[in-house]
Structure 1
Amino acid sequence: MRIAVWQGPSPAADLENGLSQAEAALSAAGNMSASVLVLPEIWLPGYNQPDIPSRSLAADSAELARLSAAARAARCALVIGYAEQAEGRLYNAALCLGPDGTPLANYRKIQLYGPREQALYSPGTGYVTFDLAGQTLALLICYDIEFAPHIKALAAQGVSLILCPTANMHPFIHVPRVTVPAMAASHGLAIAYANYCGTEGNLTYTGGSQIIGPHGEILALAGEHPALLIADLPARDPARLSTQSADFRTV
Structure 2
Amino acid sequence: MNSSLKSPSVSFVFGILLTLLLQITSISAGEPVPEGWQQIAMRKPVKPEFSYLPQGSFDGKGALAISAAPDQTESHGAWVKSFPIKGGQGYRFHVWRKTEGLAVPRRNAVVKITWLDEKGNLIPSRVQGADDRVRPVFPADGNTNKAGWTEVTDVYPVPTEATQAKVELHLRWAGQGRVLWSLPELNPEAAPAQRIIRLASAHLRPRNGKSAMENCQQFAPLIAEAGKKQADLICLPECLTMCGTGLDYADVAEPVPGPSTEYFGKLAKEFNLYIVAGLLEQSGDLVYNTAALIGPDGKLVGKYRKVCLPREEIEHGISPGKEYPVFDTRFGKLGMMICWDVHFPEVARNLANNGAEVIAMPIWGGNPTLAKARAIENQVFLVTSTYTDPDRDWMKTTIIDKEGKMLSIGKDWGTLVMAEVNLSQPKLWRFLGNFRERIYRERPVEGFVEPTETR
Q: TM-score scaled by structure 2? A: 0.49
More strand by share: 2
From 178, 199, 222, the counterpart of 1:3: 199
In structure 1, the partner of 2:428 is 239
Residue pairs, 1:139-178, within 5 angstroms: 139-168=336-365, 175-176=367-368, 178=369
State yes or no: 1:24 paired with 2:221.
yes
> CA 1:51/1:183 → structure 2, altered by over 3 Å: closer, same or farther?
closer
Cα distance in 1 between the residues matched to 2:340 and 2:388: 17
> CA 1:133/1:248 → structure 2, altered by over 3 Å: closer, same or farther?
closer
- Letter of the 2:346 counterpart: P
Answer whether contact 1:95 1:103 (CA < 8 A) is retained: yes
- Please identify, of 236-245 and 40-49, the stretch whose mean Cα deviation from structure 2 is larger: 236-245
Deviations 1:143-194 (A, max 9, x none): 11221122222222221110000000xxx5xx12x11112111211110011
Answer whether contact 1:210 1:219 (CA < 8 A) is retained: yes
- Letter of the 2:279 counterpart: Y
- Letter of the 1:219 counterpart: L
- Letter of the 1:239 counterpart: L
> Partner of 2:269: helix, strand, or coil?
helix
> Partner of 1:110: helix, strand, or coil?
coil
Deviations 1:57-108 (A, max 9, x none): 2113233212111111111111101111112211101101001111111111
Residue pairs, 1:220-235, within 5 angstroms: 220-223=408-411, 225-235=413-423
- Letter of the 2:409 counterpart: L
Aligned length: 239
Answer whether contact 2:205 2:243 (CA < 8 A) is retained: no
Residue pairs, 1:177-188, within 5 angstroms: 178-188=369-379
Instruction: State, as a whole percentage, how many aligned pairs show the same letter.
Output: 22
> CA 1:183/1:62 → structure 2, altered by over 3 Å: closer, same or farther?
closer
Cα distance in 1 between the residues matched to 2:385 and 2:397: 5
- Letter of the 1:7 counterpart: H
- Letter of the 1:6 counterpart: A
Larger gyration radius, structure 1 or structure 2: 2
State yes or no: 1:76 paired with 2:267.
no
Answer whether contact 1:79 1:95 (CA < 8 A) is retained: yes
Cα distance in 1 between the residues matched to 2:352 and 2:329: 16
Cα distance in 2 between the residues matched to 1:92 and 1:80: 11
- Letter of the 1:15 counterpart: A
Answer whether contact 1:41 1:47 (CA < 8 A) is retained: no
Q: CA deviation at 1:50?
A: 3.5
State yes or no: 1:85 paired with 2:282.
yes
Q: CA deviation at 1:16?
A: 4.3
- Letter of the 1:210 counterpart: T
Q: CA deviation at 1:197?
A: 4.2
> Partner of 1:220: helix, strand, or coil?
strand
Of structures 1 and 2, the one with the larger relative CO (CA 8 A, separation 6+) is 1
Answer whether contact 1:109 1:144 (CA < 8 A) is retained: yes
> Partner of 2:219: helix, strand, or coil?
helix
In structure 2, the partner of 1:201 is none
Q: CA deviation at 1:17?
A: 3.6
Answer whether contact 2:261 2:294 (CA < 8 A) is retained: no
In structure 1, the partner of 2:382 is 191
Cα distance in 1 between the residues matched to 2:274 and 2:295: 4
In structure 2, the partner of 1:209 is 397
- Please identify, of 53-62 and 185-194, the stretch whose mean Cα deviation from structure 2 is larger: 53-62
Cα distance in 1 between the residues matched to 2:291 and 2:330: 19
Answer whether contact 1:185 1:242 (CA < 8 A) is retained: no
- Letter of the 1:109 counterpart: K
- Letter of the 1:218 counterpart: M
In structure 2, the partner of 1:36 is 233
- Please identify, of 130-139 and 226-235, the stretch whose mean Cα deviation from structure 2 is larger: 226-235
Gaps of 5+ in 2: 1-196, 446-455
- Letter of the 2:200 counterpart: A
> Partner of 2:289: helix, strand, or coil?
strand
- Please identify, of 235-244 and 188-197, the stretch whose mean Cα deviation from structure 2 is larger: 235-244
Deviations 1:122-162 (A, max 9, x none): 10011111011231110100111221122222222221110
- Letter of the 2:416 counterpart: L
In structure 1, the partner of 2:299 is 102
Cα distance in 2 between the residues matched to 1:94 and 1:139: 7
Cα distance in 2 between the residues matched to 1:109 and 1:70: 25
Root-mean-square deviation (Å) = 2.5
> Partner of 2:413: helix, strand, or coil?
coil
Cα distance in 1 between the residues matched to 2:286 and 2:265: 23
Cα distance in 1 between the residues matched to 2:257 and 2:427: 41
